[in-house]
């Protein structure tokens, strides 16, 4: 009897081809559209209806059933509120990572299994084997950075057929061969539920803010910001400070509503070779305590991998990098690799 797989179909080409491939491989496939976010924002229309229509068109083409899982309440609590709370604290959280951790590979997986599925599948560019998370064949599209807080148990029940493809171009060509309407659909951009609207515009809908001073490395007020909550470490654009050298955000005080910047690209406040991590998550039981090798660390999606050593003391983890990086951002994730395997991640605190 064929294994029953519930495929998360977002209305994009990646998940569309995922469903088609699994059907061809003999799986009993059901498409699932996760209704997570449907609100329009100022200057941005949420395209959930259009995406659902595209997912339905693909399902019809493949002759499979498409169901809707309504996760709006859980998504607001686990992802949107997580984002808002982080910004209110003065950090820069990553909602895409939290969405994978709490929604796609926890809530979706649990709901699918309770509904009779044997496994789930998504259109992520990654690979998995025996509960391990491996980089995608296409290093340019690899999404393991966003999957680094998924559990080994979840990965054992997950399929990533797109992860074996060499390029996005190949994915589109394969979708076109099968007559899928999403073959040439543009990729979604921006934060998972914000889309093309900027984070500043999004936050403005949900939080109050007041203008305050922008202070340079000499303690001089050089301008005014629209609210410290809108700024992130390393930010260069959108400061509204004209003339002379570019300025970079190196810190901020939520209590004083002040933003601190520097025009010195060598400023020690802007660079570091050591990271402190909290909420460290290991995908499987394997952890750096069991290994003596150096690891490769990625501090942003598609950022270069940097060699680093991990250490732990009283449950607190730190990473010593082989070279300095600019603008390590509290709230973002440092993702840890050994070869092509993604071992896990921690949230950067300093």
- Catalytic positions are 99, 192
Question: Rounded to whole angstroms, how far apart are CA atoms 332 and 325?
Answer: 14
Question: Rounded to whole angstroms, how far apart are CA atoms 345 and 315?
Answer: 14
Strand-by-strand arrangement of the 258-262 sheet? 221-225, 212-215, 258-262, 248-253
Q: And the tokens for 125?
A: 């560019």
CB atoms within 10 A of CB 207: 13
- Residue-by-residue DSSP string for 49-106: HHHHHHHHHHHHHHT-EEEEEE-HHHHIIIIIHHHHHHHHTT----HHHHHIIIIIII
Which residue carries 């515009």 as its tokens? 201
Our separate counts of H helices and E strands in the chain read 9, 17
Residue 347 CA, chain-centre distance (Å), reads 13
Q: Which of 125, 82, 86 is nearest to 348 (CA)?
A: 86
Among left, alpha and beta (phi > 0; psi -120 to 50; other), residue 11 is left
């Amino acid at each position: 009897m064929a294994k029953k797989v519930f495929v998360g179909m977002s209305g994009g080409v990646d998940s569309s081809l995922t469903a088609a491939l699994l059907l061809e491989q003999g799986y009993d496939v059901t498409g699932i559209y996760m209704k997570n976010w449907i609100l329009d924002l100022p200057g941005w229309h949420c395209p959930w209806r259009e995406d659902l229509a595209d997912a339905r068109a693909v399902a019809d083409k493949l002759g499979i059933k498409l169901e809707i899982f309504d996760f709006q309440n859980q998504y607001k609590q686990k992802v949107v509120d997580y984002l808002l709370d982080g910004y209110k604290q003065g950090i820069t959280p990553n909602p895409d990572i939290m969405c994978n951790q709490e929604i796609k590979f926890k809530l979706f997986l649990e709901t699918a299994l309770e509904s009779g599925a044997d496994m789930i599948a998504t259109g992520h560019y990654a690979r998995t084997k025996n509960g391990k998370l491996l980089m995608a064949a296409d290093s340019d599209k690899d999404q393991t950075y966003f999957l680094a807080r998924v559990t080994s148990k979840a990965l054992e029940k997950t399929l990533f057929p797109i992860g074996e493809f060499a390029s996005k171009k190949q994915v589109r060509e394969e979708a076109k061969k099968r007559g899928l309407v999403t073959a040439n659909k543009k990729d979604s951009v921006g934060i998972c539920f914000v889309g093309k609207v900027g984070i500043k515009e999004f936050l403005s809908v949900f939080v109050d803010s007041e203008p305050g001073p922008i202070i340079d490395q000499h303690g001089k007020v050089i301008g005014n910001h629209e609210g410290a909550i809108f700024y992130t470490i390393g930010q260069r654009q959108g400061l509204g400070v004209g003339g002379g050298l570019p300025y970079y955000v190196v810190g901020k005080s939520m209590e004083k509503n002040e933003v601190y910047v520097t025009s010195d690209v060598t400023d020690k406040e802007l660079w570091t070779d050591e990271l402190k991590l909290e909420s460290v998550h290991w995908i499987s039981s394997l952890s750096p305590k069991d290994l003596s090798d150096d690891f490769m660390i990625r501090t942003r999606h598609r950022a270069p991998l940097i060699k680093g050593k991990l250490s732990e003391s009283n449950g607190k983890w730190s990473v010593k990098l082989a070279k300095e990086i600019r603008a390590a951002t509290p709230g973002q994730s440092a993702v840890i690799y050994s070869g092509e395997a993604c071992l896990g991640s921690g949230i950067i605190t300093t």
